[in-house]
Chains A and B, each alone.
Chain A
Amino acid sequence: MSTAVLEEKHTEASRRPPVINDFSIHVATANGSGSQSSNTILMRSIFQMGIPVSGKNLFPSNIQGLPTWFTIRASKEGFIARRRDIGVLICMNPETAHEDVKTVAPGAAVIYEESLKLDGLRNDLHFYPVPFSKLVLELVQDGKLRRLAVNMIYVGVAAWLLDIEMAEIEKAVAKQFKSKAAAVEINMKAIRGGFEWAEKNLKKSDPFRLERMNATAGKIIIEGNAATAIGCMMAGVQFLAWYPITPSSSLAESLIDYAGRHRVDPETDQPTFSVVQAEDELAALGMVLGAGWAGARAMTTTSGPGISLMSEFTGLGYYAEVPAVIVDVQRVGPSTGLPTRTMQGDITSTYYLGHGDAKHILLIPGSIRECYELAMESFDLAERFQTPVFLMTDLDLGMNNWMADPFSYPEKPFDRGKVLRTKEEFEAHVAKHREFARYRDVDGDGIPYRTLPGFFDAPAAAYFTRGSGHTDRATYTERGDDYKNNMDRLARKFETAREYVPKPVISSGNGAKVGVIAYGSSDFAVEEARTLLGRKGLTTDYLRLRALPFTPEIAAFVAAHERVYVVDQNRDGQMYDLLRLEVGSDAPKLRSIRHYDGFPLDAETVIEGIEAGEKL
């Protein structure tokens, strides 16, 4: 499009100041209609134009037919949390069209199938009727492909409306279809057809535009689950047992895919990694404990309902002191309770998972990079502390598309913990400590030494693994003092863990009286909220938690502020509760902001929570 044409196109729109690179596009389709490719192409094209972007799939628990939405946010300031207000709505689903139109912000642009006749619904929107069903008949000859290709037409219409560069769309299409010439051709034809139709027949009246920037060069786009999978692979994971569950399945599948390519021993051509798709989550964790006990870096990945099923084995892993990494991609509800929506719902239940006294190490990534880095860290901690370690992500982080810097290669060697791997190591240990006692605290940090089955022939190296009823020499006991000694050592071990878990990320030093504590995927919305509040004159300090147990910085942060807002994506303020216990007499300083409608957190929720508390 020439500059002259562009100017002409924007004449109508220019009565209002243009909104450039700062709005969200909301695409409403029916599940299973093949819109995923179109939405990815839209998002990638914007990304390739150098504009910070994020994409979120707000999908139903369904294979085909139920309504689904994809929301793409372009933000020149680099805000990538969900944006509450919608700038551009693309209505492809007759079922939800009326409701969709009712919910957009005043002044939004609405692209819709002409025959739906939506323009009478409101008079404060910019309506763009498009005869998608007629166009697709003209543009796509193969009847079987029309259902999918119709989605490409809206890509073309949106490209015209928002000034998305066609060259970038072509690149994104080629990437999406892995340069399969026939697929690229059919889809590009539909996209161009949509663009040309719009150019001829529509008149732009809305203010939304995209303009090339240079803020995404060198960055990657990736889902959190893939980032976690790459972290696990680089951490040398040797065994994965898993049971399919949304939203964690793609993590296992991604790991199997990456490891299949990059974890083949060059010398023997054999895999250095093994997988079992288990019969259920109980078995999955049982297998992981078996593999961890045998000396492997072993993991499973699941979500809340799976965590519930893993409760008994987690308790055993805690008492028997077997390393395991459990990824919990958190979601809403048991059974059919919004399984495809996001939540930070398993914080307290996982922290105390198991029966009797049990507390676990939880690592909580707050970004894509941390999905990768803390995945690696979790294996080191699991082996260092010989215990199940939980990596707590969520559906928003795990299944949505995020922009990130490329991951750096890990320079730190693995921490395999206190393992007597050879007969020499074993004999040296015995010489130093008189004997090998599996559960004896010889170093004062609560962490004992372990041997592995089948590694070397020394009668005294073998031990019998069981639950909590064991002496420090791993023999059976039901004596109260033996049990208590063991419990006290486990408590010491947990105290040691406080020094090893990732410290919180703190931004402070501006004398703010108000603090914010958040964790996990809330970070994106919280950072945006802080910037916006700052512009309104309210400066805040911020502590982002990255692990349980808490480290000493947390109580100090609360002590240093008058009021501290704790952001939870759950109804009960789960982290808020744990923090109240942690900070003791400072507990009255804590305020709770809770978001729990199943959708990713947005900045407005945080701003509203803080403003209400500060009575602004």
Chain B
Amino acid sequence: MSSTAPPGTTEPKAPPSNRVGLTVKEYGGLKSTLCVGCGHDVITRQITQAMYEMSIPPYKIAKMSGIGCSSKTTAYFADRGHGFNAVHGRMPAVATGAMMVNPSLLSIGVSGDGDTASIGAGQFVHLLRRNVPMVYIVENNGVYGLTKGQFSATADAGSKLKTGVVNDLPAIDLCAMGIELGCGYVARSFSGDMKQLLGLLKGALAHRGTALLDIVSPCVTFNNHDSSTKSYKWAKDHEIPIQEIGFVPYYEDITVDYDPGTTQDIELHDGSHIRLKKLRTDYDATDKAMALALCQESQQKQEFLTGLIYVEPSKKDFLELSGLGSVPIVSLPDERLRPGRKALEEIMESLK
């Protein structure tokens, strides 16, 4: 699987390939049609990079989305994988159905704050409650972009639109909601913090169950002005990472050279490890009460805390809870799906 040209040749060096023999370009998709400078495009690049680094076979990827600018982005990566652009706010249901019959898929959902926190709030809640195995990314910019700049339910109270309209309602904190509903991987990040984002995405891909990433992703057209709390400037000025994210993939040797006092090492479902170098002393990302308290504190102080807020790697996912086996139901041959004559006869006899 080596991608280096044989010694002695003058051919240009081929781009490096990953463990399944693919280059990062082969995880790409269509050209983005979003506004220049959109935070979403940065996230798309990090998703692409994370999938490449994690050597995910692209044909196993199921890209899921709802409606909105964010939901368009699933066309911009991994075009060797199938995608399903569902209706507004209802991507969780489609993903749930697909994963129930084929858990061998790796489902990546991209949603926005309108798609998740308003029209899709109900489905979002039940996705988390069920712990459907998928990565669920919210590209959170506090406004409806495609319909030209109305406030969303994650806009902070007091933030102001360019038109002068002030948002009077409190923001829904998707991370607090996720923790409350039992989500086993809850992270907040910022599209301007690429290194952190990449680490969190790789961790999410290694997790089994719903992995929620609430990523502040400024809307350069409608919500990037000074009175916005979802602008690049505000996010940069206010971001306080709670950890530095390190990631050791399952195929690399685990080294023990970290200080358990300052670094939390968590083994994820696929054997990879996420290493959290604590920037806030005594923060334990596996402590649910502490995680919820952090969300509240962050809201009260109007701080923008980022990092892996909560992780519970051994939580059972929906398929396990539903008593399903390891063989995807969708791959069973037809003859295994129709009960035999005896079964029907038995049923008929019981009805006589």
Contact = CB atoms under 8 A, between A and B. Distances in A.
Asked if A pairs with B, the answer is yes
Interface of A: 218-222, 230, 233-239, 241, 258, 261-263, 265, 268-276, 278-280, 282-298, 312-313, 316, 320, 406-407, 409-410, 413-414, 416, 451-459, 461-467, 475-476
Contact of A294 (B83, B102, B339, B347): B102
A392 to B, nearest CB: 23
Contact of A276 (B30, B85, B100): B100
B75 interface: yes
B120 to A, nearest CB: 10
Given A233-B339, A287-B97, A459-B26, 12 more contacts: A235-B338, A241-B96, A263-B337, A263-B339, A271-B323, A279-B125, A286-B96, A290-B99, A296-B102, A454-B59, A464-B84, A467-B87
Contacts of A262: 339, 343, 347
B163 interface: no
A238 B332 contact: yes
Contacts of A263: 337, 339
A279 B332 CA distance: 28
A268 B351 CA distance: 29
Interface of B: 26, 30, 57-63, 74-75, 79-87, 90, 92-102, 104-105, 122-123, 125-126, 130, 322-327, 329-332, 334, 336-339, 341, 343-344, 347-348, 351-352
Contacts of B122: 279-280, 283
Contacts of A453: 59-62, 81-82, 98, 102, 105
A235 to B, nearest CB: 8
Ordered nearest first, which 4 A-B pairs have the shortest CB separation?
Answer: A290-B97, A286-B93, A270-B325, A236-B337
Contacts of A292: 97
Nearest to B105: A454
Nearest to A476: B75
Given A272-B336, A280-B122, A459 B58 contact: yes
15 contacts: A233-B339, A262-B347, A270-B325, A279-B126, A286-B97, A286-B123, A316-B86, A406-B351, A416-B334, A452-B82, A453-B62, A455-B331, A459-B58, A461-B59, A466-B84
A313 B90 contact: yes
Contacts of A272: 329, 332, 336-337
A271 B339 CA distance: 12
B123 to A, nearest CB: 6
B85 A290 contact: no
A395 B283 CA distance: 58
Contacts of B59: 453-459, 461-462
B85 A274 contact: no
Given A220-B348, A282-B90, A288 B97 contact: yes
Given A274-B100, A316-B87, A410-B338, A218 B352 contact: yes
Contact of A462 (B80, B93, B97): B80
A383 to B, nearest CB: 11
B84 A220 contact: no
B84 A293 contact: yes
Nearest to A464: B83
Contacts of B332: 238, 265, 272
Nearest to B332: A272
Contacts of B341: 409
B330 to A, nearest CB: 5
Given A296-B101, A456-B59, A286 B90 contact: yes
Question: Most B CB atoms within 10 A — which of A272, A457, A458, A464?
Answer: A464
Nearest to B339: A262
Nearest to B338: A236
A283 B126 contact: yes
A316 to B, nearest CB: 5
A290 B93 contact: yes
Contacts of A280: 122
A406 B99 CA distance: 36
A238 B101 contact: yes
Contacts of A451: 82
Contact of B94 (A219, A265, A290): A290
Given A239-B97, A276-B96, A290-B96, A283 B81 contact: no
A327 B347 CA distance: 22
A52 B347 CA distance: 21
A461 B83 CA distance: 12
A66 B87 CA distance: 41
Given A236-B338, A454-B59, A462-B80, A271 B86 contact: no
Contact of A409 (B60, B63, B105, B344): B344
Contacts of B62: 294, 453-454
